[in-house]
Amino acid sequence: PQTTGLLYPRESETREVRSLDGIWNFVQSDQYNVTQGIRERWYKDDLSKVRKTIPMPVPASYNDIGEDAGLRDHVGTVWYDRRFFIPKYWLKEKRVWIRFGSVHYDAIVWVNGVQVVKHEIGHLPFEAEISNNVLYGKENLITVLCDNALLQTTIPQGSISEKPTDNGVTLIQSYTFDFFNYAGIHRSVVLYTTPKLYIEDVTVKTDLADKNGSVHYEVKVNGDKGNWLTYVKVNLRSKEGDIVASHKSGPELKGTLKVENVKPWWPYLMHPEYGYLYNLEISLCNDEQEDIDIYRLKVGIRTLAWDKSSFRINGEKVYLRGFGRHEDSDIRGKGLDLALITKDFNLIKWIGANAYRTSHYPYSEESMQFADENGIMIIDECPSVDTDNFGQALLDKHKSSIEQLIHRDRNHPSVVMWSIANEPRTKSLSADSYFEKVANFTRSLDPTRPVTAALNAAADEDKAGKHLDIISFNRYNGWYRNPGRLDMIIRNVMDEAKLWNKLHNKPVLMSEYGADTVAGLHLLPAFIWSEEYQATLFSKHFKAFDNLRKVGWFIGEFVWNFADFKTEQSYTRVGGNKKGIFTRNRQPKAAAHLLRKRYFGLCQEL
């Protein structure tokens, strides 16, 4: 997997970006003949010449586009293709790239019948240079094979079994995680160009001292430098566009920009000016030519620090208030939807939250940019859910998912923690060394952010907590535990949080709590599944949190979930998981109004 390059595709004076989003042609493979397309080389020509294709939107999950359960529940491979033009003038002085925001779970991409890239693990971008594969001034063909199969060595894990049906047999994909295994080309596909000698990668780290900020940058370039001495000129611009700092690097292409009277990046409502971003403008030059390549990156200047009892941004203690979420909506499934992201951020701000966890996988790069702009702190989670059967192959893939995630997101000021797993089975002995390795690997890649995981084993049986910097725990008091009992919550939440802290002497946050709630179901006295029950269950948790906040090391509360979402079919799920404070259509349940009061109240207090 790629752990260099992959800069978010942006236009500039030297770069062009063209979208390949739109309607593609689509073929579902026969479940029992998944390799047929490869054997018969369907990528050599239009899919429509070998099979009847159907129209499929990109980006979107394919599962809910049809009206056929066979497509929704498909296990194995599907094919996409479309044609596109490459202008003739791109041939001169340009490199041409193809980039996918994410394809779930496995993908192989061919351009004009030649394989150009292969990628495994959904929710993460990948790209390939296709300068030598495309026809200039002509039409070209792109073909994508996507496989949704989850096995014991994939991230997340699953298993496939064969079951008899009324007409024969079928393959069933099972998994223990609680969200639908949507698949397809989930995020945008773009063609973009760079010059032959180009900026391949940029890393920034920031610091603050009194009123001064600094931005350390490091640039990687790729391509033939010739005999010229290469350097970068870097400008840091304010939001208003004024240059506030400049630097000219030596041939090592790195340096530090000093910013006087800095405007730090603050979380939402922690400061009147939250989410402040500078614009870092990088120009690649040599002794002969300036502006060989230009790339711009938004930068938030902030520091993070943590110890046994606190988590601080810019030296100030932060209390995180937010939720776990999903990328999920009607029809599109996990497909990128800018209307949805924009609406969600409006709702996040309406409710007064300052954080969320990207449960249970990396979210779109576009949503990370929104988080930067809005001062929303992100606990950035890799796609490891319910991890079990710890082995070397799984460990390698788990590390790869973290490496790719950190590579993609390391420059976002909004990312304040890495979550290396959700509800791993950490009771088992083998979880100990497994999570020691995963946590240390994460720290070795990024020592500037704390490592956490959302744990749900009993605190005194868990083997992973000791390897983390911050303990996050998920617990469903009044739901999976003592359903219907609203009178045991305060004590249980407090006891558990205290136990985690006592065992590890680290900051603790509650990463999940909640209750399934059917919007419009009212039952008094509060009864499970009703709006009254969800609201009362929340208010009990608030009491526990208020008591815990007095002790200092309790640093955050996260409701499960922001919105209702689709899951696998099960008798515990009514049309999906209904623990949202918003419905799947983003309308508030009663508890949303209560949460809004609390979250705004919390930020006034602080």
What does the per-residue mask of binding to ligand GCB show for 541-560, with x meaning CB under 6 A?
Answer: -------------------x
Cα–Cα distance between 165 and 340 in angstroms, integer? 38
- To 10 degrees, the CA torsion angle through 463, 425, 552, 539? -150
Give the nearest distance from C-beta 222 to ligand GCB in angstroms: 40
Among 512, 531, 557, 564, binds ligand GCB (CB under 6 A): 512
Among 157, 181, 401, 422, binds ligand GCB (CB under 6 A): 422
Give the nearest distance from C-beta 401 to ligand GCB in angstroms: 17
Residue with Cβ nearer ligand GCB (372 or 386): 386
Under a CB-based contact definition with an 8 Å cutoff, are residues 163 and 172 in contact? yes
Give the nearest distance from C-beta 461 to ligand GCB in angstroms: 16
What does the longest C-alpha to C-alpha distance in the chain come to?
80
Give the nearest distance from C-beta 46 to ligand GCB in angstroms: 40
Among 15, 332, 579, 584, binds ligand GCB (CB under 6 A): 579
Residue with Cβ nearer ligand GCB (25 or 577): 577
Contact call for residue 426 and ligand GCB (CB under 6 A): no
| DSSP bridge partners of 58 | 22
Total residues in contact with ligand GCB, by rule CB under 6 A: 9
Residue of 494, 483, 496, 495 whose CA lies nearest to 457: 496
Give the SS3 label for residue 402: helix
Among 423, 446, 462, 496, binds ligand GCB (CB under 6 A): 423
Give the nearest distance from C-beta 578 to ligand GCB in angstroms: 9
Other beta carbons within 10 angstroms of residue 598's beta carbon come to: 20
Give the nearest distance from C-beta 535 to ligand GCB in angstroms: 17
Give the nearest distance from C-beta 194 to ligand GCB in angstroms: 39
Residue with Cβ nearer ligand GCB (236 or 454): 454
CB within 8 A of 231, min separation 6: which ones?
Answer: 248, 249, 250, 251, 253, 285, 286
Residue of 582, 13, 589 whose CA lies nearest to 289: 13
Give the nearest distance from C-beta 567 to ligand GCB in angstroms: 7
Among 63, 140, 235, 474, binds ligand GCB (CB under 6 A): 474
Under a CB-based contact definition with an 8 Å cutoff, are residues 466 and 433 in contact? no
Residue with Cβ nearer ligand GCB (232 or 497): 497
Under a CB-based contact definition with an 8 Å cutoff, are residues 354 and 265 in contact? no
Annotated catalytic residue, options 365, 423, 512, 531: 423
CB within 8 A of 394, min separation 6: which ones?
Answer: 152, 153, 155, 157, 387
For the question of residue 605 being annotated catalytic, the response is no
Residue 411 exposed, middle or buried by CB count within 10 Å (0-12, 13-18, 19+): buried
Under a CB-based contact definition with an 8 Å cutoff, are residues 223 and 197 in contact? yes
**Residue count of the chain:** 606
**Parallel/antiparallel/unpaired status of strands 22-28 and 54-58:** antiparallel
Residue with Cβ nearer ligand GCB (154 or 456): 456
Give the nearest distance from C-beta 594 to ligand GCB in angstroms: 19
Residue with Cβ nearer ligand GCB (63 or 422): 422
Give the SS3 label for residue 212: strand
Among 577, 580, 581, 599, binds ligand GCB (CB under 6 A): 577
What separation in angstroms does the CA of 180 have from each of 40, 387, 447, 593? 31, 17, 33, 28
**H-run or E-run covering 355:** strand 355-357
Under a CB-based contact definition with an 8 Å cutoff, are residues 100 and 126 in contact? yes
Residue with Cβ nearer ligand GCB (481 or 597): 481
Residue with Cβ nearer ligand GCB (61 or 422): 422
**H-run or E-run covering 104:** strand 103-104
Instruction: Kindly tell me the sign of the dihedral angle through the C-alpha atoms of 323, 329, 333, 335.
Output: negative
- The CB-nearest residue to ligand GCB is 178
Give the SS3 label for residue 127: strand
What does the per-residue mask of binding to ligand GCB show for 166-205, with x meaning CB under 6 A?
Answer: ------------x---------------------------
What does the per-residue mask of binding to ligand GCB show for 122-161, with x meaning CB under 6 A?
Answer: ----------------------------------------
Cα–Cα distance between 570 and 576 in angstroms, integer? 8
DSSP state of 397: H
Residue with Cβ nearer ligand GCB (105 or 473): 473
Under a CB-based contact definition with an 8 Å cutoff, are residues 564 and 579 in contact? yes
Residues known to be catalytic? 423
The site for ligand GCB (CB under 6 A) is made up of 178, 422-423, 456, 474, 512, 560, 577, 579
